[in-house]
């Protein structure tokens, strides 16, 4: 593998006829080895090379005999998504537009802190939620991402920052994962769960569940299962304190209203050291009054909670404006006075449209632009996005 380079992606993506071993569970990997006449223990060896070493070239897996390496190369690949575009912000945020084997795309973002950072991973191509304040929500849902494509996003980030083999001393630059990119993770639960189990495996990528946060808009039936099976940190995109306002800006609330959502939050496995994060985008004149802040405290009563106040990142065509910074500070100060952590999120990567709520694949931007041109010219549009599972 060429650390930090793009050659492995292009090579892997060019051979789509072979099955990729990335994204398979240990059991699935062992089954693939059995299918080519190899013993199950080969899966353990491959797991180490793929997820601990980050290797993409079977020829470089030197603990395997040469005939086996050749056999593996005949049948399989270790595929990464293709990096269509990489942008780095003035604040060091980095965004990748990634193309998958079928040509669909999604965006992945690295969000740096002083001595570490988090990778923001997408779970779907597009989104079905149509939240009124979110740019991603204006892109139609195309399909769910597979475990290979979800894990592959994190592996691309590791490649880019040359963080292979997996650091074992806790000093890694890429220390956290947040499922806050394109899509609703709990609408793609099975694939997300398989990907996270691979990422958390101690003999591979080895990111602790304490360093993984899954963000949901409130898919109530799946929240308990997520807590019981994965045990990762939970963030809830709340953004309103009444059903009237939340129905307007987040249509999912009509299916899972606040009373049901709060009940699911109370049932999620937490403790005082591991609280639910409630994300709250600050929309001027919509949800930012002190009366809203008081209602918010009452709403989460009894839940180990903290807040993440998000200044609205304006995008072309958005109908909302960001609350005045003075009002956001008053809102934050009130929550702090009530005993809650309520920092104001510093916008990151706004200059490359990598900030919260701004992700949207470049192919969709181009498609929408061309659609507008056709409609303006009086040409009937026949380029609807095909919906897939």
pLDDT band at 140 (very low <50, low <70, confident <90, very high): confident
C-alpha span between 150 and 152 (Å, rounded): 5
Query: For 116, how many CA atoms within 13 A lie in the half-sphere containing its CB?
Result: 10
Per-residue confidence (pLDDT) for residue 77, from 0 to 100: 97
DSSP at 344 = B
Of 55, 77, 99, which marks where a domain is finished? Answer: 77
Q: Are residues 231 and 291 located together in one domain of the fold? A: yes
Domain total in the chain:
2
Catalytic residue flag (residue 356): yes
Per-residue confidence (pLDDT) for residue 122, from 0 to 100: 95
32, 38, 55, 107: which one is catalytic?
A: 107
Per-residue confidence (pLDDT) for residue 1, from 0 to 100: 46
C-alpha span between 319 and 289 (Å, rounded): 19
Domain housing 53: 7-77
Per-residue pLDDT reduced to its tens digit, 261-320:
999 999 998 876 789 999 999 999 999 999 999 999 999 999 999 999 999 988 888 899
C-alpha span between 63 and 44 (Å, rounded): 12
Mean pLDDT for the stretch of residues 335-355: 79
What is the CATH number for 63? Answer: 1.10.150.530
C-alpha span between 31 and 33 (Å, rounded): 5
Q: Are residues 101 and 138 located together in one domain of the fold? A: yes
C-alpha span between 281 and 246 (Å, rounded): 12
For the chain, what is the largest distance between any 2 Cα atoms, rounded to a whole number of angstroms?
70
Q: Are residues 108 and 167 located together in one domain of the fold? A: yes
Whether cis (ω within 30° of 0) applies to the bond prior to 180 is no
pLDDT at residue 348 above 70? no
C-alpha span between 139 and 361 (Å, rounded): 8
Mean pLDDT for the stretch of residues 248-252: 95
Number of C-beta neighbours around residue 333 at 10 A: 13
Lowest mean pLDDT among 126-135, 153-162, 228-237, 282-291: 126-135
What HEC string does 261-325 produce? HHHHHHHCCCECCECEEEEEEEECCCCCCHHHHHHHHHHCCCCCEEEEEEECCCCCCCCCCECCH
Per-residue confidence (pLDDT) for residue 168, from 0 to 100: 72
Per-residue confidence (pLDDT) for residue 47, from 0 to 100: 98
Q: In the numeric block, which tokens belong to residue 232? A: 């990762």
pLDDT band at 5 (very low <50, low <70, confident <90, very high): very low
Q: Are residues 60 and 100 located together in one domain of the fold? A: no
C-alpha span between 311 and 313 (Å, rounded): 6
Q: Are residues 225 and 328 located together in one domain of the fold? A: yes
Residue 189 counted as domain residue: yes
Of 77, 97, 116, which marks where a domain is finished? Answer: 77
Dihedral sign (CA 22, 183, 258, 355): positive
C-alpha span between 89 and 342 (Å, rounded): 26
pTM given for the model: 0.86
Per-residue confidence (pLDDT) for residue 352, from 0 to 100: 54
pLDDT at residue 328 above 60? yes
| Alpha helix positions (H), the chain | 7-14, 26-35, 41-47, 66-75, 147-160, 189-200, 220-229, 243-249, 258-267, 290-299, 325-337, 362-376
- The alpha carbon torsion through 250, 254, 256, 260 (nearest 10 deg) reads 110
pLDDT band at 231 (very low <50, low <70, confident <90, very high): very high
pLDDT at residue 97 above 90? yes
Per-residue pLDDT reduced to its tens digit, 9-41:
444 454 678 999 999 999 999 999 999 999 999
Of 77, 98, 126, which marks where a domain is finished? Answer: 77
What is the CATH number for 168? Answer: 3.20.20.70
pLDDT at residue 188 above 50? yes
C-alpha span between 167 and 207 (Å, rounded): 10
38, 105, 356, 364: which one is catalytic?
A: 356
Per-residue confidence (pLDDT) for residue 274, from 0 to 100: 85
């Amino acid at each position: 593998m060429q650390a930090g380079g793009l050659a492995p992606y292009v090579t892997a993506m060019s051979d789509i006829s072979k099955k990729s071993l990335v994204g398979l569970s240990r059991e699935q990997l062992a089954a693939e080895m059995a299918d080519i006449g190899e013993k199950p223990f080969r899966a353990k060896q491959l797991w180490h090379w793929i997820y601990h070493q980050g290797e993409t070239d079977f020829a470089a897996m030197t603990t395997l005999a040469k005939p086996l390496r050749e056999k593996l190369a005949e049948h399989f690949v270790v595929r990464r998504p293709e990096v269509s575009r990489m942008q780095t912000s003035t604040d060091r945020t980095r965004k990748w537009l990634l193309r998958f084997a079928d040509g669909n795309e999604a965006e992945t973002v690295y969000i740096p802190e002083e001595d570490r950072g988090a990778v923001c991973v997408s779970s779907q191509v597009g989104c079905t939620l149509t939240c009124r304040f979110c740019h991603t929500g204006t892109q139609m849902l195309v399909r769910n991402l597979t475990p290979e494509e979800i894990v592959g996003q994190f592996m691309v980030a590791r490649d880019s920052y040359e963080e292979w083999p997996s650091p074992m001393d806790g000093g890694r630059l890429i220390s956290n994962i947040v499922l806050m990119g394109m899509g609703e993770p709990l609408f793609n639960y099975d694939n997300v769960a398989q990907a996270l189990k691979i990422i958390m495996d101690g003999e591979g990528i080895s990111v602790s569940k304490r360093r993984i946060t899954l963000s949901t808009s409130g898919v109530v039936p799946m929240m308990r299962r997520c807590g019981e099976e994965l045990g990762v940190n939970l963030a809830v995109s709340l953004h309103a304190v009444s059903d009237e306002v939340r129905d307007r800006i987040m249509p999912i609330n009509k299916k899972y209203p606040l009373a049901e959502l709060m009940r699911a939050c109370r049932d999620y496995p937490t403790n005082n050291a591991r609280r639910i994060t409630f994300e709250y985008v600050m929309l001027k004149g919509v949800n930012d009054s002190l009366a809203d802040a008081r209602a918010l405290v009452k709403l989460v009563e009894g839940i180990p909670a903290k807040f993440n106040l998000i200044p609205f990142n304006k995008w072309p065509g958005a109908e909302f404006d960001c609350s005045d910074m003075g009002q956001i500070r008053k809102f934050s100060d009130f929550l702090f006075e009530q005993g809650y952590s309520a920092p104001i999120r510093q916008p990151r990567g706004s200059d490359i449209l990598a900030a919260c709520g701004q992700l949207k694949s470049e192919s969709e931007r181009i498609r929408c632009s061309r659609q507008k041109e056709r409609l303006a010219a009086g040409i009937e549009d026949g380029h609807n996005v095909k919906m897939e599972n």
